[in-house]
Amino acid sequence: MRMRVRRIGLALAALVTALAPSAALAKTDIQFWIGISGQLAETVETQAKEFNQSQPDYEVKVVRKGSYAETLTAAVAAYRQRNPPHVVQVFEVGTQTMLLSGAVYPVYELMQQHEIKIDWNDFIKPVVGYYTKDGKLYSMPYNSSTPIFYYNKAAFKKAGLDPGKPPKTWKDVEAAARKILAAGAAKCGFSTGWPSWTMVENMHATHDQPFATRNNGFGGVEGVELLINREFGQKHIGQLAAWQKDQVYSYGGRGGAADPKFINGDCAMYIQSSALIGGFTRSVKFDWGTGELPHWGPPYRKATSIIGGATLWVLKGKPQADYRGVARFLEFLARPDQQMWWHVNTGYLAISNTAVKNLEQGYHFVRNPRQYTAFAQLTGLPPTPPAALKGRTGPAPKPERVATPNSQGLRLGNFVQIRDVIESELENVFAGKKSAKQGLDDAVARSNALLKEFAATYKQ
């Protein structure tokens, strides 16, 4: 009799366990909203899948929400309705908005509270500097890039230039452009993408010139004003406008609109995000190389460039238990092997020094010299990867760039609109409708109004 009861009891227990939704086995969902699409998005999804398979407790769900702007808007709306995602990918120009939002769970705090150790010092300084407040990291760097210089080696050869030596100064660029035009190797010397990011923000940074007051906005929100209409800004933009006249420079539109000019061989040189290396590898038919951003030389110091791309922000308002999973996911992404995998598969930078060193020691940069340029430019490393120099004699090449307060990045409110304003005025200058001084002055006036408006929205 007892045996029977026992057996029935066991059977029942087994039945109940089988039928119960097994709360112990169900994974907690982590909502991860991204603002990229296409192949890059698929890479994110692959990475998330690997995390999901590596542990039994949490399931990261990647949701594509459209462009960066649309994703941010969706996150804002969701947050207001008290149903935000756990993690959202926000572009770098949204940093100030996120920092002041009161909706963010700072990454350093998250890691601290879940006792997950991350060596913050291992991260590349320019990347971390952009997202640090009071010495603490608020957002997790994820897909960062920096603008670099691309050039058409075949066109260089045709013009009698050394295809292994990209021009380093703007004067060299001009000379190369003129030679190329004279030889008929291309229709224009060089073009640019993301005009504000490459020609205004990064030019000021790499020449150690301030972009805005209050330490480029890092010092606070009140009273910040732009400084791009000073001597350096006028000189550089004025020169671009002059070059536009004889096709040494050819303005091709905003964002990536000018990409076809380089891909088609119309322009022999091009300044755009390092993230395009992957895309160019697939679509460019001629032999091409990368170099660092051109520089005007003395009296300007040569400083590191600033980053672009996006980072991951953790939002408040989710159940406490979920955040452990978020912390573990971010820790996963920060591992050097994940960093290396990400870099190799997307062209975005690996952001920890350890990862860079590993890549370097694996001769990755020797095999893919183009991908080294961005690192060198951001961190001030010597332009040739050390592994490539093994066996050579002579003094080690010195780092050519320094990190200065002006090259840590920008922290401005309404930055999306400000970029829009700057690019509109640049278009006026390049179309010959305004002088460089006039255009820059107007850009500064309009941007300052936007900054004031932003400050007024957050007045406490």
Binding mask 243-262 for other proteins (x = CB under 8 A): --------xxxxxxxxxxxx
285 binding other proteins? (CB under 8 A): no
Burial class, 387, CB count within 10 angstroms (exposed 0-12 / middle 13-18 / buried 19+): middle
Residue type for 136, please?
Answer: K
Closer by beta carbon to other proteins, 100 or else 388: 100
**Min CB(83)–other proteins separation in Å:** 8
Residues facing 191 on adjacent strands: 270
459 binding other proteins? (CB under 8 A): yes
Residue type for 262, please?
Answer: F
**Min CB(211)–other proteins separation in Å:** 20
46 binding other proteins? (CB under 8 A): no
**Min CB(229)–other proteins separation in Å:** 18
Going by C-beta distance under 8 Å and a sequence separation of 6 or more, which residues neighbour residue 228?
Answer: 200, 204, 211, 422, 440, 443, 444
Closer by beta carbon to other proteins, 366 or else 449: 449
Closer by beta carbon to other proteins, 377 or else 417: 417
99 binding other proteins? (CB under 8 A): no
Closer by beta carbon to other proteins, 72 or else 248: 72
**Min CB(105)–other proteins separation in Å:** 13
Length of the chain: 460
Going by C-beta distance under 8 Å and a sequence separation of 6 or more, which residues neighbour residue 112?
Answer: none
Name residues contacting other proteins, limited to 363-422 (CB under 8 A): 414, 416-417
Binding mask 436-455 for other proteins (x = CB under 8 A): -------------x---x--
Q: Residue 146 has what DSSP assignment?
A: -
Q: Which long-range contacts (CB under 8 A, 24 or more apart) does 452-459 make?
A: 453/414, 454/96, 454/221, 454/412, 454/413, 454/414, 455/221, 455/222, 455/223, 455/224, 455/413, 457/413, 458/100, 458/221, 458/413
**Min CB(253)–other proteins separation in Å:** 4
CA dist 160 → 169, 181, 316 (Å): 18, 12, 59
What CA–CA distance (Å, rounded) separates 263 from 272? 12
264 binding other proteins? (CB under 8 A): yes
Q: Which of 2, 23, 38, 392 binds other proteins (CB under 8 A)?
A: 38
Q: Which of 32, 51, 58, 79 binds other proteins (CB under 8 A)?
A: 79
73 binding other proteins? (CB under 8 A): yes
Residue type for 176, please?
Answer: A
What CA–CA distance (Å, rounded) separates 257 from 353? 33
**Min CB(442)–other proteins separation in Å:** 9
Which one of 60-68, 168-176, 355-363, 401-409 is the stretch in contact with other proteins (CB under 8 A)?
60-68
Q: Which of 373, 369, 393, 395 is nearest to 383 (CA)?
A: 373
CA dist 163 → 265, 281, 436 (Å): 15, 17, 33
How many of the chain's residues bind other proteins (CB under 8 A)?
A: 57
- Binding interface with other proteins (CB under 8 A): 37-38, 63-66, 69-70, 72-74, 76-81, 97, 100-103, 193, 251-264, 276, 279-280, 282-283, 414, 416-417, 423-424, 427-428, 431, 449, 453, 456-460
